[in-house]
Amino acid sequence: MEEDPSNGGNSSSNLETSKADKAVWLMKCPLVVAKSWKSYHTSSPDSTPLAKVVLSLDPLQSDDPSALQFTMEMSRTETGNVPKSYSLNMFKDFVPMGVFSETPQGRVAMEGKVEHKFDMKPHEENIEEYSKLCRERTNKSMIKNRQIQVINNDCGVNMRPMPGMLGLISSGSKDKKKIQPVKQSDVKRTRRDRGELEDIMFKLFERQPNWALKQLVQETDQPAQFLKEILNELCVYNKRGTNQGTYELKPEYKKTAEETGAD
């Protein structure tokens, strides 16, 4: 081939088309067959055939393309439940395609054009074996390969960074994670005795007449829901006015609190 000046005189970038008209068959095969052929090619680099294709033709219907039957028989003896015989279903209509190859040097060549396209599936007599093989493959995929290892040394020595790794840890402000303070609502609080908590509430309302729920939670260190139950019995909630959003004692409990303070 002549060098093309437009690509800098590099003829290796041209497409080799000497085999462009060669008829090629395209076949979709099961994964187990592809793995078998690949391992066979690696272990036996000679030109031994991988399989043979048997064409069956009805002489009475020689003009009918649908009368053609293709069967592939594996030449290599397999172990397990790998089927030996496969049916090749030929597609009548498919998009025109070509086959290309590329050498390690980057040279691209057209190896031919697809004349027939086949779908490969196990023959009827091997379908039961193939189904068993698929079930075995599914069961293997469901097995968990991850394992939990217990570390005997619980002092954390093995988990400390090595001296040479300290320099790899970035100290930039972007990499530092902000420590989120623990919210008071996330702290688990223990309920006091109901009578004891009521006495504390009366003393708080002696100190000031109006309290917000959040303030009472901080003062008593009690769960908010438990405080609400007692506040609903002892207090009135102000929904509007200058003391909106706060609790104050009911009139009958105000007298009790005043009498207790006077005593």
Q: What is the pLDDT of residue 259?
A: 59
Mean pLDDT value across residues 197-207: 88
Check whether 263 has a pLDDT greater than 60: no
| Rounded CA separation 221/226 (Å) | 11
Decide: 27 and 115 in contact? Cβ < 8 Å.
Answer: no
Better-scored residue on pLDDT, 229 or 150: 229
Q: Where are the alpha helices (DSSP H) in 163-236?
A: 194-207, 213-220, 224-234
- In this prediction, what percent of the chain has a pLDDT beyond 90? 8
Check whether 27 has a pLDDT greater than 80: yes
Query: Could you read off the pLDDT of 83-139 as tens digits, one per residue?
Result: 778 888 888 777 888 889 888 888 899 999 988 888 888 776 666 777 777 777 777
Mean pLDDT value across residues 23-34: 83
Q: What is the pLDDT of residue 58?
A: 77
| Rounded CA separation 140/154 (Å) | 34
Q: What is the pLDDT of residue 4?
A: 47
Query: pTM of this prediction?
Result: 0.39
Please, which residues bridge with residue 28 across strands? 119
HSE-up of 22 (CA within 13 Å, CB side)? 14
Confidence band of 212 (pLDDT split at 50, 70, 90): very high
Mean pLDDT value across residues 17-37: 84
Closest CA to 231 of 260, 202, 189: 202
Check whether 11 has a pLDDT greater than 50: no
Decide: 253 and 234 in contact? Cβ < 8 Å.
Answer: yes
Q: What is the pLDDT of residue 135?
A: 75
Under 8 Å CB-to-CB from 105, ≥6 apart: which residues? 12
Mean pLDDT value across residues 140-169: 63
Q: What SS3 state is found at 22?
A: coil
Per-residue buried b or exposed e for 120-155, using 16+ beta carbons within 10 Å of the residue's own CB? ebbbeebeeebeebeeeeeeeeeeeeeeeeeeeeee
Decide: 184 and 217 in contact? Cβ < 8 Å.
Answer: yes
Please, which residues bridge with residue 102 across strands? 108
Query: Could you read off the pLDDT of 169-194 as tens digits, one per residue?
Result: 454 545 445 555 555 554 577 888 88
Query: Could you read off the pLDDT of 31-75 as tens digits, one per residue?
Result: 778 877 777 766 666 667 778 888 888 777 767 766 778 888 887
- In this prediction, what percent of the chain has a pLDDT beyond 70? 69
Q: Which two tokens stand for residue 131?
A: 């189904």
